[in-house]
Structure 1
Amino acid sequence: MKKRSIFATLAAAILFSACSKSENNNVTPDPVDSTETGKYVVAVTPIASTGVADYLLTSSSLDQGTVSIIGNGIEQDGTYRYYLTTNNKFFSFLYGQGNPGAVTAYNLTDGKLKKLTDFQTETVAAFAAVNEDVLMTKLSRNIASPTHYWYRVSTNSLSIVGEGSINALSLANNGEIGYFSWLTQVGNKVYAPFFSIESSAFTTAYPNKAWVAVFSYPDMTLEKVFTDERTSYIGQYFTNGLGTVENGDIYAFSAANATSKVDGVTKITSTNPSAILRIASGTTEFDKNYFFNIHDVSGGYNIINWTYVGQNNFVVSSKKKQSDGTYSSAVTIAAVNVVDKTYKIVSGLPEAADVKSFTQRNNYSKKDGKTAYIGVNLASGESYVYKIDASTATATRGLKVEGGSITAIEHLD
């Protein structure tokens, strides 16, 4: 009964919000630079120590110009925002860290963002565009209460059109919770790579195994779980580890950094290498004839995130494995081709000592086989969008962003 009332409340909140919210703050103020109207959406966290919310800016170019949050942009409600673009709408998700979350949706009108709806939800930890829906999941980390909840929001009506639950212990079937790293539509199904975890600490007794759950859609019935023991879990927390290429094959990366409790200390216990696996088009198994050992080919790096740019090329974020088994704090950007099995470190980016952070999620690609745009936030306080050419493994500095750190880059027509 509790779950039913939650979704009834959410549905009412959507309808109320769509009908009664003030439109005063729904669009960006008049731009101070001609590049600040257009098709690209850049999320920016203001320069501050704690408790700050992102601003959403628009720009007609990522290759040149300047945008600023000073006197511009739409301020988001609350920190820890994550983003998704689907059906030509931009969705902003608030991760509530155990508290209620929120979802705000926008479209682009006359080059500016217009708010369509703003409603409160349960905090969701994995979501994806599936058909014309947004599929969202609230995930449990509690062995004593091992139930995940899912619900579907139509991107057309902006209303809930389905909801249900999943037994989290039935996924790994080993006494641990199967915790989704992300969700991906594959044909008429949903593939959900997951961690096997003992508790909210994300430790596991099974650090050398990868899992993917397959669900029917839209009823989200569990059809199958397939595994591999050549690497570790697929993806990262809040990070999609699956990428589908033009011929329908799916590639899956593992960072190989699963942790376990050893003599009371939490440490990385994956002994398998960071690697990329393949799921051949139309199958629900890992391809035993394909294995891309990233650790060996790269000289000791893993992959922690990636952006597909087309023609079997990915731009990846990675870290170097240290002698004590941990990974470096510095992030290295590289170009990976999953068919040729190549890993090339990108040149033309600022020196590692000068970089505060890269955007780890929501990087944008034209899917032209080579181009990705990533945010580079410098220790000096300056932030830029860099254009990565995966075919030559080179980077070029583009749009400058003033007033904060770039957290996402998206595109709307």
Structure 2
Amino acid sequence: MMTRKKQFSQLFMSLCILGVAGFNMGCSKDKSPAPDNGGGNGNGDGTKSSFVFVVYTDGSGGEAGRYIVPIGDVTKGTLSTKGVGVETEAYSFIRQNNKLFGIVYAAQGPTTPYRLNKDGKLEQAGNAINTEFTGIYGTVNKDAYVGGSVARSKDNPVATLYRFDAISNQVADRSAVDLMKITANGEMAVWTGLSQVDNKLFVPFYCTTGADGETTKYVDSTWIAVFSYPQMVFQKVIRDGRTGSIGNWFGMQGVQHTEDGDVYAWSTAGGSGKLRSTKPSAIVRIKKGTETFDQSYFFDIEKATGTKLARGEYIANGKFLMTLYATNEIGGVSGGRVKLAIVDVLNKTVNYVSGVPEHNQMSYNMKVYVEADKKTAYYVMKEDDGKLYLYVIDVATGKGSKGLYFQGIADVTSITKLDY
């Protein structure tokens, strides 16, 4: 079982080969409809669409590198980078305004937009723009995304939220944030994601002493920092004491609003040794129009399943595609054997997906895409023989089938869809 210190060390040693998927959570300033975390023909003007993957080659075909690769059909066949991939330096990718923005993990955070041309070929959609050393990000409305910079020390706990205009391709605004003032408990906030809820930004976080990310006195609480939008000014913290902290470093998941405007958050309640939460892994709720946890709702996942939640992505109608741990090993940014399940937060049910084997969890987050009609979800996983496949999930039946095979590819770090 890895400690947070080892997790952070793994993060920085793995930046050259790992990436994080971005997903679209677009909504208006007045209300928060369920996000479109993929959905072809959603933001673009065209009538055609293509899947787009970010992959890292295994070196079998020459030098290893990271590539962005479009492909039409993912239910069968093989994907490779030969002749179709565009090489990129970015590690993180977020879809907005029918573009894929690649963000480099560096002090200036160079960000480059990509799109599909009229022939469905990938091309650069503008110049690279310096942003920030980005650690969290999420889309806002249909025209922007917000990113947050990295701060690691209590001696310098000030981070930056920045608003990136996805239409004009520029940083539109910045706001300095003191991560010590967010916690107000002598420790520093480490944020794990960012979601728009109405005209606010919800940023889940956990606490750390800041020395090495290893120590904290606060393992049995759930926190969400609330910021105004578009000002990005810190307003308050929403706290609950029934489960542990939300999400994991670089996970970009853990808080999600549904079609009715309610917000659901979930916690692994993991950790190791003194850092292990005494609370159960669970899902909690914030009712529409409020900024407090709903004490009448508590979905105790451990009581229902005998195990802990790992990660999750929203599908629709209160249903999430989630991974649950299959053993006592609880991973953080990576690690742990997991099973795939459809979790219904409205009816408080957990149904494991048939046809998808138990497997080792990939790094940082789930690589998931949900079709616009919400009937089909796609899930990338590495099988025990080391081969990477895309599994096609029928949401109604909860059945999965093996689809696209990734040939000569060591890691898949992002999956989305663009129109052309």
Shorter chain as denominator, the TM-score bin is 0.7 to 0.9
Q: 2 CA distance for matches of 1:52 and 1:94?
A: 18
Cα RMSD, aligned residues only? 2.4
Deviation at 1:321, TM superposition (A): 5.4
- 8 Å contact kept, 1:137–1:150: yes
- Confirm or deny that 1:344 pairs with 2:357: no
- 8 Å contact kept, 2:338–2:358: no
**Which residue number in structure 2 is paired with residue 22 of structure 1?**
none
1:69-112 deviation digits (Å, cap 9, x = unpaired): 1232011116xx1221111111112224xx54332211111212
| Aligned equivalent of 2:412, options 385, 406, 412 | 406
Give SS of 2:337's match. Answer: coil
Change (3 A) 1:356 1:313: closer
| One-letter identity of the residue aligned with 2:137 | F
- 8 Å contact kept, 1:361–1:408: no
Work out which of the two has the higher radius of gyration on C-alpha atoms and give 1 or 2: 1
Deviation at 1:52, TM superposition (A): 4.7
Identical-pair percentage:
33
Deviation at 1:120, TM superposition (A): 3.8
Q: 2 CA distance for matches of 1:381 and 1:274?
A: 29
TM (normalized to structure 2)?
A: 0.80
Structure 1: runs of 5 or more not aligned: 1-36, 260-265
Deviation at 1:357, TM superposition (A): 4.2
Give SS of 2:151's match. Answer: coil
| Aligned equivalent of 2:184, options 163, 168, 173 | 173
Bigger relative contact order (CA 8 A; separation at least 6): 2
- Confirm or deny that 1:315 pairs with 2:326: no
Give SS of 1:233's match. Answer: coil
**Which residue number in structure 2 is paired with residue 102 of structure 1?**
110
1:26-61 deviation digits (Å, cap 9, x = unpaired): xxxxxxxxxxx9511011111159x95421111112
Q: 1 CA distance for matches of 2:187 and 2:163?
A: 26
Deviation at 1:348, TM superposition (A): 0.6
Give SS of 1:304's match. Answer: strand
1:183-227 deviation digits (Å, cap 9, x = unpaired): 111111111111111123243100000011111111111222110
| One-letter identity of the residue aligned with 1:46 | T
| One-letter identity of the residue aligned with 1:217 | Y
1:353-387 deviation digits (Å, cap 9, x = unpaired): xx684883441002544421011223444322111
Deviation at 1:258, TM superposition (A): 4.0
**Which residue number in structure 1 is paired with residue 92 of structure 2?**
82
Deviation at 1:237, TM superposition (A): 1.2
| Aligned equivalent of 1:135, options 146, 150, 164 | 146
Change (3 A) 1:52 1:184: farther
Give SS of 1:174's match. Answer: coil
- 8 Å contact kept, 2:208–2:215: yes
**Which residue number in structure 1 is paired with residue 7 of structure 2?**
none
**Which residue number in structure 2 is paired with residue 364 of structure 1?**
369
Deviation at 1:318, TM superposition (A): 2.4
- 8 Å contact kept, 2:336–2:361: no
Deviation at 1:284, TM superposition (A): 0.6
**Which residue number in structure 2 is paired with residue 329 of structure 1?**
336
**Which residue number in structure 2 is paired with residue 222 of structure 1?**
234
**Which residue number in structure 2 is paired with residue 255 of structure 1?**
268
TM (normalized to structure 1)?
A: 0.81
**Equivalence map 1:28-43=2 (5 Å):** 38-43=49-54
**Equivalence map 1:267-278=2 (5 Å):** 267-278=274-285
Structure 2: runs of 5 or more not aligned: 1-47
**Equivalence map 1:149-160=2 (5 Å):** 149-160=160-171
**Which residue number in structure 2 is paired with residue 244 of structure 1?**
257
Q: 2 CA distance for matches of 1:406 and 1:325?
A: 22
Change (3 A) 1:278 1:351: closer
| Aligned equivalent of 2:225, options 186, 206, 213 | 213
Change (3 A) 1:299 1:391: farther
Q: 2 CA distance for matches of 1:72 and 1:331?
A: 33
| Aligned equivalent of 1:59, options 54, 71, 74 | 71
- 8 Å contact kept, 1:314–1:390: no
1:107-155 deviation digits (Å, cap 9, x = unpaired): 1112122112323443210011112212111131211111111211110
Q: 1 CA distance for matches of 2:270 and 2:186?
A: 21
Change (3 A) 1:351 1:221: closer
**Equivalence map 1:112-123=2 (5 Å):** 112-116=121-125, 117-123=127-133
- Confirm or deny that 1:387 pairs with 2:392: yes
| One-letter identity of the residue aligned with 1:123 | F
- 8 Å contact kept, 2:367–2:380: no
Deviation at 1:316, TM superposition (A): 0.7
- 8 Å contact kept, 2:246–2:265: yes
- 8 Å contact kept, 2:250–2:365: no
Q: 2 CA distance for matches of 1:179 and 1:351?
A: 30
Q: 2 CA distance for matches of 1:39 and 1:288?
A: 43
- 8 Å contact kept, 1:204–1:258: no
1:299-339 deviation digits (Å, cap 9, x = unpaired): 22x222211111111111222452x9889721221110001
Q: 1 CA distance for matches of 2:408 and 2:69?
A: 11
**Which residue number in structure 1 is paired with residue 204 of structure 2?**
193
